[in-house]
Structure 1
């Protein structure tokens, strides 16, 4: 049993009258997550049990936890059929339309990436276990292009940085969604302590059970940043890290296997926008320093964002990152490659996954529960559809289509996955 002795002493014999605690637990862990908030109202013992994070570990140990894919995406429709609009969205939409011309002028002056109007962004959730979609209600408008990262042990999803929806300036904001707290919907939003620097299009990854690392991106003048910092989700504190060797805008972040390191892949400098670097930098928390790994990213014309994802967890003594590299069916690439840094301590290993689309199609790819996932856009039969690749089968597995409602079909900017 994963429930603490303190908790078990409080709930023993009270979970389901007439059933042994072990059997009652086997029953309760099978209840779908959407009903957990209602279960808390049944009795004090159920409230105590479900509010404890060990209950989620029990669900995982029994194989009953649900796998969620959370992603930040522009809203296709002002009022999705299966989800109410966030409060205030109607008025804000009118303001956006009236201020569209002014917004475009500001973008040109600030040399920011071109955005048509000021779209609304939302947090969408695909429940892969139950094959359902929904959009999480948020008390305020989230920043455009914010990074989405999950802390599994804490049961939290964070939205970090991005652009202010009205000024289109980078922000320091941190929004925290706690899946295991709160009443009503069973979910609760709060504001975390802001980053020390405003940034967008930066590398971000959860490392260990409580830490989130960020590095690079760009500031309000579109300067590529070298700065890095780390957030402790339990303490709600940011700590400054040594800067990277190079400024990296539009870089991608990953946690390393073992040693709680942080890898920042590719990106480009201030004077070389759109020319993606071939190297990566890895932060070592033991030495509090960065090291460079050369010749990791072979595509100078292609962003690693939405084209790379963490592969299945590494075993043995591998130290570094094992990543999937998603390539179009027409792009030439090695099936796999592995590069070490000069110290021979860190490695980045890439395995190619072929997408069933051409280079003319826009794609956002990632991973979910050990499987590759991809959202397809830009025309064709697969447009607006999410696909899942089963990796356990022979010959590299196969792609299968996921039913994607129209209101959830736009390509996401960032994503994370969590078990609940």
Structure 2
């Protein structure tokens, strides 16, 4: 049957001779790693696969791949004379005409700091790889994903040479550009340098940060929000309390929760409360008695569980506890405005309190990296149906991560 030119143009004939729906079903089945190749087949395929709606179609058909992005320390560089902990290299008093006064203004450089990299575990294909990044990423940077935008961000942390907090923002676009994505760019820096802060994506384009500490190890109250599409930071009102080593979560894609942390004078004594930012009222409210472990950081011990349904306004979290620690199985707490709720459910790890762990979530399931740390051997485990099982973890990917995020592609 002859088809008019207008109909051909409207359908774009994704695959000649096949209805558009069937052609789409074929294309969404192509693994993400081959999107580079199929983009070069024809203009209509390039246009389709480069559009963010294609990623949504892959999810609708159940063909999207689930990726876990981990900020991990790599093997430390070899040193002829390794420094004592805290020792820094001495600087020449006169070098290439530089004055002594100029040298004093520069922060000292630390010898032999570890390199950090971004590792990706493809849970759908059970494969690992490391993303090539053209420059050294900050130590202890926060990793956060924006699913609808198809982007993973690395924010803040420490300069790898001076160990000072930075304002850096790196944006990795999985869906744009040539091939299967992974195009890096530097985003606009934060207004304040910070590390060990709360961070979470809220909605489709925004990332909130709050707390952490500055270059003097002072706990911060300040907070700001980044619009990834506009590449702009905006300051929001500060929290009521300074919170270092706090943890951030999205409140049903409506608000931003900053969990626990500690103040400047109470280092290591983790607060039991949380603060929630409401973008509509542009204000913070407090949730009391939500974190019951004063000796335990919520970082690597809490993670968002499956997405909340209906009109629930808050976040549902997993609280990962060691097998010997006593804790309630589940607790619910509301904020002082009675608007937001945190629901915490205990997940018991198959380890004792002496084991190093970092736990989180992936595709609605609990995951945990157990052991690891530096060059030591570690392993990842995944909980499915109430049972923990080991995930194949190559030795080059076995160190405990500092932060993580997950994204479907």
Assess same fold via TM > 0.5: yes
Alignment partner of 1:217: what SS? coil
Counterpart in the other structure of 2:99? none
Secondary structure of 2:87's aligned partner: helix
* Matches of 2:130 and 2:33, distance apart in 1: 13
Per the alignment, do residues 217 and 100 of structure 1 end up closer, same or farther by CA in structure 2, a change over 3 Å counting?
Answer: farther
- 2:45 counterpart SS class: helix
Classify 1:179/1:10 alpha carbon distance in 2 versus 1 (closer, same or farther; 3 Å): farther
Helix, strand or coil for the counterpart of 1:226?
coil
Q: Highest Rg: 1 or 2?
A: 2
2:111/2:161 contact within 8 Å kept: no
SS at 2:201 equivalent: strand
Residue in structure 2 matching 1:399, options 348, 365, 388: 388
Secondary structure of the residue aligned to 1:101 is coil
**Displacement of 1:127:** 0.4
Tell me the equivalent position of 2:341: 347
Q: Distance in 2 between matches of 1:234 and 1:165?
A: 28
Q: Please give the alpha-carbon distance, in whole angstroms, between the structure 1 residues aligned to 2:377 and 2:353.
A: 13
Pick aligned residue for 2:321 from 324, 327, 344: 327
Q: Distance in 2 between matches of 1:283 and 1:123?
A: 29
Q: Could you say if the C-alpha distance between residues 98 and 304 of structure 1 is closer, same or farther in structure 2, counting changes exceeding 3 Å?
A: same
Specify the alignment match of 2:87 in structure 1: 105
CA contact (8 A) 1:13 1:20 kept: no
The secondary structure found in structure 2 opposite 1:281 is: strand
1: CA distance, partners of 2:152 / 2:139? 16
Equivalent-residue separation in structure 1 for 2:180 and 2:65 (angstroms): 16
Structure 2 unaligned blocks of 5 or more? 1-6, 90-109
Of 172, 175, 186 in structure 2, the residue corresponding to residue 177 of structure 1 is: 172
| Residue 300 of structure 1 pairs with residue 294 of structure 2 | yes
Change (3 A) 1:197 1:243: same
Q: How does 1:14-413 map to 2 (within 5 A)?
A: 14-76=13-75, 93=77, 97=79, 101=83, 104-106=86-88, 117-183=112-178, 186-257=181-252, 260-377=254-371, 384-390=378-384, 393=385, 397-413=386-402
Distance in 1 of aligned mates of 2:302 and 2:49: 35
Task: Compute the displacement of 1:102 (Å).
Answer: 8.1
Answer yes or no: is the 8 Å Cα contact 2:244–2:262 preserved in 1: yes
Q: 1:177 to 1:10 in 2, by over 3 A?
A: farther
> Taking structure 1 as reference, are residues 215 and 289 closer, same or farther at Cα in structure 2, changes over 3 Å only?
same
CA RMSD of aligned residues (A): 2.1
Equivalent residues of 1:228, 1:241 under 8 A apart: yes
Q: Distance in 1 between matches of 2:155 and 2:27?
A: 34
Deviation at 1:106, TM superposition (A): 5.0
1:283/1:70 CA distance change after superposition, 3 Å: same
> CA separation in 2, counterparts of 1:219 and 1:33?
39
* TM-aligned CA distance change 1:9 to 1:272, over 3 Å: farther
Kindly tell me: are residues 10 and 356 of structure 1, through their superposed partners in 2, closer, same or farther at Cα, counting changes over 3 Å? farther
Deviation of 1:12 (Å): 2.0
What TM-score comes out, normalization by structure 2 length?
Answer: 0.89
Would you say how many aligned residue pairs link Structure 1 and Structure 2? 381
What is the CA-CA distance between 1:37 and the residue it aligns to? 1.0
1:237-258 deviation digits (Å, cap 9, x = unpaired): 0000100000000000000025
Distance 1:9 1:363 in 2: 56
Report the CA distance between 1:378 and its aligned residue: 5.7
Consecutive unaligned residues of structure 1, counting only runs of 5 or more, are 1-7, 79-92, 108-114
